[in-house]
Amino acid sequence: MKKEKKKAKFVDPGHTIYDMSNVPTSRPSFKNDNGVSLTPKERRAAVMAAFAHFLPILFGVIACFLVAMLLILWWLN
């Protein structure tokens, strides 16, 4: 015969571990609520300006990786 182990009953002590009054209850919206309204033509121009700014930086980083890879290959041969 097996003896059944008695489970201890959980008793809530009632004290607060963390105050949840300042935690938002809803998910943040990803709408454009910052007050900037752009027409599709303006939005396209802004995206193209961002590409024009960041693409040379990206190409520079890629070029640095290629130079490093070539140096490593040259070193190992």
Measured between alpha carbons, how far is residue 66 from residues 48, 54, 60 in Å?
26, 19, 10
- CB-count burial class (<10 Å; 0-12, 13-18, 19+) for 55: exposed
- Tell me the domain boundaries of the chain: 39-77
Instruction: Output the pTM of the full model.
Output: 0.48
| Assigned token pair, 74 | 């040259």
**Mean pLDDT rounded to a whole number for the chain:** 85
Which residues, in sequence order, are CB contacts of 38 under 8 Å at separation 6+? 46
Quick one: pLDDT at residue 7? Answer: 83
Q: What is the DSSP letter of 74?
A: H
E strand or H helix at 72: helix 40-76
* Per-residue model confidence as pLDDT tens digits over 11-46: 888 887 887 778 777 766 556 556 678 888 998 999
